[in-house]
Structure 1
Amino acid sequence: MLDALAHTLRSRPDRPAVLGTTRSGSVRTKATCGELADLAEGYARALHARGLRRGDTVGVAVRPGPRALAVLLAVHRLGLRAAVLDPGAGPDVLRARLALARPDLVLADATAQAVAGWARPLARRARLALPDLAELGGPVATVGRRLPGCAPALATDARASVLPRAVDEDGDAVIVFTSGTTSRPRAVVHTRSSLAAGMATVTGLVRPEPRSPVLGGTFFVLVPSLASGAPVALPARSPRVLARQLRRLAPQATYLTPPQLRAALAADARFHGRVWTGSAPASAELLTRVRRAGACEAWGVYALTELFPAAAVEQAEKAAFTGEGDLVGAPLPGVEARPGPGGEVLLAGPAARDRYLGEEPEPWVRTGDRGRLDEAGRIVLAGRCKDMVLRRAENIYPGLYEPALHVPGVELALLVGVPAGDGDERLVAVVQPHHEADPARVRAALAGPLRRMGTARPDALVLADIPLAGRSLKPDRAATARLAAARTTVGATEAGR
């Protein structure tokens, strides 16, 4: 698919590739096909000139857009693997992830480096000349506009560098971090073939047509659309601007997360063509609202980092379902599903991840979701087996952040999810102080760790005794979540206030 995209970009250089939208909703071309192809080639030459070779790892902390896509195309061409980095995850988590991936080079835009500015003192102590993400010893290069204090720019004019033949064999393609702890982070490894299979499935599902725009911001939306000759537009962050964007673009297909859909609907957005949503549960009621707002079809997509996409269901089918559980649809072509121990849904197929970084390959993906296959072979979910909290389409793993909450004066601390309506959750930190601890001092001591959680910062902080269960008296997460729900309903203190 990426090879097909490269060919499409070169064969139609003057056509729009990535579209931008102003606050008024006006549409403009951010990059043509030819410009995107030139940028990708420039990055590939620059990476090759720096000595990066097949199998090396490149950390990527670049905001979605033409540059991020060009970087990934360059990485693919050279047979490198990309480790996707999120500076918003917080310093402790990011350090652990960098230590696991051990990138040979980190590519970061100015915004990512500003977010990761906490690393500068560490870099100086380690006698590194580069700021921010370089504290583990690997070099950093700035992609895009370079601001004062950023790492040196990645030169894209290395014309003297002769590019080798494009790699066309299988191998590791991308590392995406998921669960784990700060001491033992976990990362999914996709190969070139598993990425290709996933994007081929998306193409068959969405059926993008040439020239008509597609609205969406994920890699699995951008690549199949562009490869099919359809220009893509990144969704505006503001719901009101997004509503204007939808009106001006009239996209043939739209991919938004459920929180984005809810915000757009609240801004009186009107939809066009087919609408897809995933990354979080999408209720039949939400899909019905999207249809009523103009979409000819509204689809919920069941997908995981380990296998994207796995199943899909259209609004009419989901609304007609009267059984227990959440119908997410029949497995897509090539995807196998079966129940595992404890009723956990297991998935396999060509688009499944190869392995977790540092572990052996596994044929079956453990989803962490309890569920079953109904008489029609469709997947019906019945809740999650794992502790992951899903907030605004972001997976938050409590084990990453709970250790930081054990400041002086704290006995126990848990992060739990509290239902917030329509499949979303609020993240609540429940902290049990020592019996004689001063609550005000505990709150003050927690302020720093809470700030350092980045995008995983809790919505609320509750000081209370954590329920225990079992012979070993382990913390009872389910009971703690119920306690958090009751306390936040009556008005818990917002985290960090």
Structure 2
Amino acid sequence: MLDTLARTLRRHPERPAVLGTTRTGAVRTKATHGELADLADRYTTALHRRGVGRGGTVGVAVRPGPRALAVMLAVHRLGARAAVLDPGAGPDVLRARLALAGPDVVLADATAQAVAGWARPLARRARLALPDLAGLGPVATVGPRLPGCAPALDADVRAVPLPPPVDEDGDAVIVFTSGTTAQPRAVVHTRASLAAGMATVAELVRPEAGRPVLGGTFFVLVPSLACGAPVALPARSAPVLGRQLRRLAPQATYLTPPQLRRLLADGGRFHGRVWTGSAPASAELLTRVKRAGAEEAWGVYALTELFPAAAVEQADKAAFTGAGDLVGSPLPGVVAKTDSSGELLLSGSAVRDRYLGEDPDPWVVTGDRARIEGGRIVLEGRSKDMVLRHAENIYPGLYEPSLHLPGVELALLVAVPDGDGDERLVAVVQPSPGADRNALRTALDRPLGRMGAARPDAVLLADIPLSGRSLKPDRAATARLAARRLDGRHLDGRGLDGRGLDGRHLDGRSRG
């Protein structure tokens, strides 16, 4: 489909490709088909000059939009693979991931490099915590440069013949998921599995040429643009997003559940078909979306290893009265089954090839408990440790080791329900006997500050419950303990420190 997109862009260079919006909701063109194609060609030439070719790896820390898409088109043409780097993962995690991926070059926009010098306060406010990228290998800037940024990727690029496109299967993208800082884990998709996933999206959403689609993910941009539909990047604030939807009247909209909830709370209205995923979407949420004007409201079940896997429309989800969470029938090409423990396994043409450094495996172990009922997948809970906050997957195992400072006996990151499928992240720290709790709180500030977007909403100093013959930390009991303490919103003298990201105690008192 990336090849189809490249041809479509050249066939109609004057058509708008990526749309933005002003604060009034007015639609503006961020890039036309021709501008996007030209940018992809410049990046292709620049990367080729740097020696990137078939089998190479390009680290990508660029915000979604025309430049990120042009980078992906360039990497695809060269037969290389893109290692997607999350600037919000924190410096220690990012260093480990870069070491595993071993990119030939890291492409980063100015925001991803904002930890250097003058921009460090801006980076902290944006919840970014990065290492000095310049110390991790060759770095090039994509987009406008700011003071302290690496040289521009396409500086001094002149019109030269492009290398012929690679026309064979191979690794296409690396996306990091769980694992630990010492042993990161990354999903590897091939060109074939990526193409199969995007084809499934196109068949599911059915974008029509010339009519806008609203959404900012790669799996929205590529299929829509390949079908001739311009894509509008969603505004960040709910009021502006609401105005954007009114002006745009998109044929299809993809927003995460947190975005939907904020928009609905602001009185937003929808148009056409609405899709949501990346976090659980309840029947109630989908029903509210339809009441707010959507013709259809769909929940999409997907994983990094397989996107998309299943989908369900509001009417079917609302009519389901059984136990569990109905996520729909497996989409064409997807095979679903459960193992002896009830864990859901998925396979199909769009499934990832392997985990980086491991052998290929046709089956994805989802970490979700489920049952297959009438050919439909019904989720019954998670069997692997993961926290879903604001539609982001947070893996506690990546960050817990950094909390084991002198004076800490045990430390866990647990989830506390926060309504409609969302969760709050709480660090529960058990001090060693005799430890100075005030000093410990101060010492914890450093590792907490290096967690980036995974920084906990609150920190609780308490004894962690143990269970089993081996007396292992009981995560479920610890989560219940955190929920009780945070629900009480009090300081009990035993060490509840409810400081959230705004630096306030849970009982509303400012920090002393």
Q: CA distance change for structure 1 residues 395 and 116 in 2, over 3 Å: closer, same or farther?
A: farther
Deviation at 1:84, TM superposition (A): 0.3
Q: Which residue of 2 aligns with 1:394?
A: 392
CA–CA distance in structure 2, aligned partners of residues 98 and 254 of structure 1: 33
Residue 443 (structure 1) aligned to one of 438, 441, 460: 441
CA–CA distance in structure 2, aligned partners of residues 434 and 153 of structure 1: 50
Deviation at 1:132, TM superposition (A): 2.8
CA–CA distance in structure 1, aligned partners of residues 290 and 51 of structure 2: 52
Letter in 2 for 1:482: R
Deviation at 1:156, TM superposition (A): 5.6
Letter in 2 for 1:167: V
Q: Which residue of 1 aligns with 2:276?
A: 277
Question: Where do residues 259-338 of structure 1 align in structure 2 (5 Å cutoff)?
Answer: 259-338=258-337
Residue 477 (structure 1) aligned to one of 470, 475, 478: 475
Q: Which residue of 2 aligns with 1:405?
A: 403
| Contact 2:31/2:66, CA 8 A, preserved across alignment | yes
CA–CA distance in structure 2, aligned partners of residues 132 and 272 of structure 1: 44
Deviation at 1:115, TM superposition (A): 3.9
Question: Where do residues 111-130 of structure 1 align in structure 2 (5 Å cutoff)?
Answer: 111-115=111-115
| Contact 1:55/1:79, CA 8 A, preserved across alignment | yes
Q: Which residue of 2 aligns with 1:385?
A: 383
CA–CA distance in structure 2, aligned partners of residues 330 and 155 of structure 1: 45
Q: Deviations over 1:56-78 (max 9, x none)?
A: 00000011111000000000011
Q: Does 1:426 align with 2:424?
A: yes
Tell me the SS of whatever aligns to 1:317: helix
Tell me the SS of whatever aligns to 2:114: helix
Q: Which residue of 2 aligns with 1:128?
A: none
| Contact 2:117/2:148, CA 8 A, preserved across alignment | no
CA–CA distance in structure 2, aligned partners of residues 356 and 300 of structure 1: 27
| Contact 1:42/1:156, CA 8 A, preserved across alignment | no
Tell me the SS of whatever aligns to 2:341: helix
Question: Where do residues 58-97 of structure 1 align in structure 2 (5 Å cutoff)?
Answer: 58-97=58-97
CA–CA distance in structure 2, aligned partners of residues 16 and 164 of structure 1: 27
Cα RMSD between the aligned structures?
1.5
| Contact 2:134/2:150, CA 8 A, preserved across alignment | no
Q: Which residue of 1 aligns with 2:354?
A: 355
Q: Which residue of 2 aligns with 1:214?
A: 213
Q: CA distance change for structure 1 residues 150 and 180 in 2, over 3 Å: closer, same or farther?
A: same
Q: Which residue of 2 aligns with 1:125?
A: none
- Unaligned ranges ≥5, structure 1: 121-130
Letter in 1 for 2:301: Y
Q: Which residue of 2 aligns with 1:132?
A: 132
Deviation at 1:365, TM superposition (A): 0.3
Q: Which residue of 2 aligns with 1:417?
A: 415
Q: Which residue of 1 aligns with 2:42?
A: 42
| Contact 1:19/1:30, CA 8 A, preserved across alignment | yes
Q: CA distance change for structure 1 residues 247 and 115 in 2, over 3 Å: closer, same or farther?
A: farther
Deviation at 1:87, TM superposition (A): 1.5
| Contact 1:37/1:70, CA 8 A, preserved across alignment | yes
TM-score (norm 2): 0.93
Letter in 1 for 2:95: R
Q: Which residue of 2 aligns with 1:3?
A: 3
- Unaligned ranges ≥5, structure 2: 121-130, 490-495, 504-512
CA–CA distance in structure 1, aligned partners of residues 115 and 368 of structure 2: 33
Letter in 2 for 1:352: V
Q: CA distance change for structure 1 residues 116 and 174 in 2, over 3 Å: closer, same or farther?
A: farther
CA–CA distance in structure 1, aligned partners of residues 165 and 116 of structure 2: 33
Q: CA distance change for structure 1 residues 236 and 160 in 2, over 3 Å: closer, same or farther?
A: closer
Tell me the SS of whatever aligns to 1:458: coil
Q: CA distance change for structure 1 residues 237 and 156 in 2, over 3 Å: closer, same or farther?
A: same
Deviation at 1:117, TM superposition (A): 6.7
Letter in 1 for 2:202: T
CA–CA distance in structure 1, aligned partners of residues 366 and 173 of structure 2: 19
CA–CA distance in structure 2, aligned partners of residues 119 and 97 of structure 1: 24
Letter in 1 for 2:422: D
| Contact 1:119/1:132, CA 8 A, preserved across alignment | no
Q: CA distance change for structure 1 residues 119 and 101 in 2, over 3 Å: closer, same or farther?
A: farther
CA–CA distance in structure 1, aligned partners of residues 86 and 352 of structure 2: 20
Q: Which residue of 2 aligns with 1:258?
A: 257
| Contact 2:116/2:148, CA 8 A, preserved across alignment | no
Deviation at 1:116, TM superposition (A): 6.7
Q: Which residue of 2 aligns with 1:240?
A: 239
Letter in 1 for 2:37: A
CA–CA distance in structure 2, aligned partners of residues 92 and 341 of structure 1: 37
CA–CA distance in structure 2, aligned partners of residues 223 and 241 of structure 1: 24
Q: Deviations over 1:257-302 (max 9, x none)?
A: 0000000101111000000000000000000000000000000000
CA–CA distance in structure 1, aligned partners of residues 51 and 421 of structure 2: 47
Aligned residues: 485
CA–CA distance in structure 2, aligned partners of residues 132 and 232 of structure 1: 33
Letter in 1 for 2:377: I
Letter in 2 for 1:162: P
Letter in 2 for 1:4: T
CA–CA distance in structure 2, aligned partners of residues 209 and 242 of structure 1: 22
| Contact 1:20/1:28, CA 8 A, preserved across alignment | yes
Q: Does 1:488 align with 2:486?
A: yes
